[in-house]
Structure 1
Amino acid sequence: MKDGELDSVDRAILYHLQQDARRTSSNDIAEQLDLSPSTVRTRLNKLEESGIIRGYHVDIDYDLAGYPLYTKIICTAPVPERDTLATKAREVHGVTAVREIMTGKRNVYVNAIGKTHDDLNRIASELDELGLDIVDEQIIRDEYVCPYHGFLETDEAPDGDESDEESE
């Protein structure tokens, strides 16, 4: 598999995993795609080894977990330092996600949680000390993740051809 060259089977596997990776087994996916479980496991291993699947993440309701303040902190970082600062931001206690943005001045988005406003102030101060310029902070009510339906939008359809098994 070359970078960015997923066939319809790989895309369908990714789609099904995005729906609920924890409760979706290779057997479940195989049944949906009319493939053998070993073909799906082989494909999953390749997707993981290539870095396309970077991990399996839990979706947490932070409010129910006792962290009622969920915020997005929008920052500006000098472009040559953006990746370094984004990596350092991930180490700040309370930070749950960091996104690097390729365009504009608002080029680092940090998601963070806290129990109190003091927690959020501490996180903001630590980000500032790293060299990130905070330009906006937003309290998030909730965030929902959904599968990318584009993995299923193609002229190719999984055809149940299991020839990949024998060639791997």
Structure 2
Amino acid sequence: MRPGRPRASTTLEGLDDLDRAIIGALQRDARHASSGDIAEAMDVSASTIRKRIQRLESEGIVTGYHATVDYERAGYPLAVLLFCTAPIPEREELAARALGVDGVVGIKEIATSEENLLVTVVAENTDELTAIARRLAEFGLTIGEEELVRGDETVPFYRFTGTEDDEERPAA
């Protein structure tokens, strides 16, 4: 089903329907989402799409394009979530330092619990995992829980896909 021309109305967040459609297309498949293909689907010019993407990037709404890696197939069978605690005044600095540790592939700052950093780590074996955890502890992070990750799937946020009807979204 081809969507109609987007409304030009702007939401409180500053995004209109065209911006949301562009974000949805990029979330679905940024590698193959050409401005021409998005333009055709949205019935606007490719230059309009390119300008919108540039604006979304410059405003920090679209912050990057990332490859999804199957670490197990790439030789790193251990993907682990480390729930860590950092002193609040140092949390941002410690998160940035932790990203520099070999094997750390992601950090999420959590504002609502004692364990306020979620660190994603990949490793070949438990010795490597232990070395990474020790390095994080040296920085001042306290590791609470460790959870082995078996799978990791994401989907585009439904408000960027043009499928706001509940029956069109995947079942919860």
State the TM-score, normalizing by the size of structure 1. Answer: 0.87
2:17 is aligned with 1:8:
yes
Q: Could you say which residue in structure 1 is the equivalent of 2:95?
A: 86
Q: Note the 1:105-124 alignment, pairs <5 A.
A: 105-124=114-133
Partner of 1:133: 142
Question: What 5-or-longer segments of structure 1 have no aligned partner?
Answer: 156-168
Structure 2 SS opposite 1:22: coil
Q: 2: CA distance between counterparts of 1:8 and 1:80? A: 39
| Higher RCO (C-alpha under 8 Å, 6+ residues apart) | 1
Q: Conserved in 1, the CA contact under 8 Å of 2:25 and 2:161? A: no
- 2:66 is matched with 57
Choose from 40, 47, 51 the match for 1:38.
47
Whole-angstrom CA distance in 2 between matches of 1:32 and 1:153: 12
Q: Give the conservation status (yes or no) of the 8 Å contact 1:16–1:24.
A: yes
- Poorly superposed stretches of 4+, deviation over 2 Å: 1-4, 151-155
Is this contact kept in 1: 2:21–2:162, CA < 8 A?
A: no
Amino acid at match of 2:70: D
2 CA distance for matches of 1:48 and 1:112?
Answer: 27
Please give the secondary structure, in 1, of the residue aligned with 2:31: helix
| Deviation of 1:151 (Å) | 2.2
Whole-angstrom distance in 2 between the partners of 1:67 and 1:130: 24
Q: In 2 relative to 1, CA 2–92 (structure 1 residues): closer, same or farther, beyond 3 Å?
A: farther
Question: Which residue is 1:48 aligned to?
Answer: 57
Give the match for residue 32 of structure 2. 23
Aligned length: 155
1:95 to partner: Cα distance: 0.5
Residue 61 to residue 3, structure 1, CA distance change in 2 (3 Å): farther
User: Who is 1:159 aligned against?
Assistant: none
Q: How large is the Cα RMSD of the aligned pairs? A: 1.8
Is the 8 Å Cα contact of residues 8 and 154 (structure 1) preserved in structure 2?
no
CA distance in 2, matches of 1:2, 1:50: 16
Q: Any stretches of 5+ residues in structure 2 without a counterpart?
A: 1-9, 165-172
